[in-house]
A and B are shown apart, each in its own frame.
Chain A
Amino acid sequence: MEQVAELALMGKYIGAGLAAIGLGGAGIGVGNIAGNFLAGALRNPSAAASQTANLFVGIAFAEALGIFSFLIALLLMFAV
């Protein structure tokens, strides 16, 4: 019985760690958005200022998906 509980605990932690990998994807996404924004802004600096709102909205949406995996990790760690 003890061992089963230990095994469940292990699975929980491994699961949380795997879920946290998803944050890497969000990091790639956010970096992609920011990098492309910078590339576009250097090409046409006059249009950059008007697009910062879109930049942040895009970053927020990309980040949201990473935050879901963060949430899953937290739930696995603390709530399950």
Chain B
Amino acid sequence: MRDVAETGFAIHPMDQFIVKRFFCDAAHADCTSNIQWFEITNVTVWIGLTVLAIIALMVFGSRGRAIIPSRIQSVGEMIYGFIYKMVEDVTGHDGVKYFPFVMTLFLFILFANLLGLIPMSFTTTSHVAVTITLALLVFLGVTLLGLAKQGIGFLGMFWVSSAPLALRPVLAIIEVISYFVRPVSHSIRLAGNLMAGHAVMKVFAGFASMAVISPVAVGAVTAIYGLELLVAVVQAYVFTILTCVYLKDAVGGAHH
């Protein structure tokens, strides 16, 4: 990689993900090392913008409380209806009280993904640290909720009673492993998709500096940008619906 950089044709697809202090001049100071947990970094700034965007849409967009909604209000209502229906359909009636939590996750991921698509911005959800936090929140929440609601019966989820008796211990081991792998796949899926997409865009953008293939590269960046827009929404949807599927196990999995 250093060789490539020395030849003058340098593409650094990963540099866009570097976490650094926001109020810091890279020419005079070291902005990346020893970042403390309370410092304002570019991650902090873009998380803050995500929060502001969500508040703008959901709070200021609906402040008219209009019967005939304005455009922004109807977007907020559409998202509300979409997630509400998803929670109700997947987790059943008992899961509806966790709707605000699911809504929080969906809006945060959706807006972080979409804001990350602004050129020169920072994609917070491409960081495993961010997504593993979300996934562990879901994982721990679901596990504790399941234990609280169903007690030891929650562990019956791992004992596949429809399988032959001899197979059940093996299946139980597999089920336990797949249960604990959930937060990993849940978080890596989101971060991996976003990171891969943005890195690919960066690579094609780097090709644009070569005159011969620059038209192709510009076209490719445009096409991939469209794809990334789709990925941003679909990944938010997938993360949310998987959250609902996991919630169903905790809330009423035994009854189904």
Q: Which of B86, B89, B185, B237 contacts A67 (CB 8 A)?
A: B185
Question: Are B185 and A68 in touch, CB under 8 angstroms?
Answer: yes
Residues of A within 8 A of B95 (CB): none
Interface-facing stretch out of B23-31, B152-160, B238-246: B238-246
Q: Which residues of B contact A68 (CB under 8 A)?
A: 184-185, 188
Set A53, A57, A64: member contacting B189, Cβ < 8 A: A64
Rounded to whole angstroms, the CA-CA distance of A67 and B193 in the bound complex is 9
Interface residue tally of chain A, by bracket? 10 to 19
A70 in the interface, Cβ–Cβ < 8 Å? yes
- Identify whether the interface residues of B are mostly helix, strand, loop, or mixed: helix
Determine if B196 is an interface residue (Cβ-Cβ < 8 Å): yes
B242 near A67 with CB under 8 A, answer: no
- Which residue of A56, A57, A59, A71 is within 8 Å of B188 (Cβ)? A71
User: What is the predominant secondary structure among interface residues of chain A facing chain B?
Assistant: helix
A17 to B145, CA, bound (A): 41
Smallest Cβ-Cβ distance to B190: which chain A residue:
A67
**In the bound complex, do residue B90 and residue A60 qualify as a contact, i.e. CB atoms below 8 Å apart?**
no
Q: Is the CB of B86 within 8 A of A57?
A: no
- Our pick among A53, A59, A60, A71 for the contact of B89 (Cβ within 8 Å) is A53
* Assembled-state Cα–Cα distance A52/B85 (Å): 13
B residues in contact (CB < 8 Å) with A: 86, 89-90, 184-185, 188-189, 192-193, 196, 234, 237-238, 241-242, 245
CB-defined A-B contacts under 8 Å, sample of 15:
A53-B90, A56-B241, A57-B238, A60-B242, A64-B185, A64-B188, A67-B185, A67-B188, A67-B189, A67-B192, A67-B193, A68-B185, A68-B188, A70-B188, A70-B196
Residues of A at the B interface (CB closer than 8 Å) are 53, 56-57, 59-60, 63-64, 67-68, 70-71
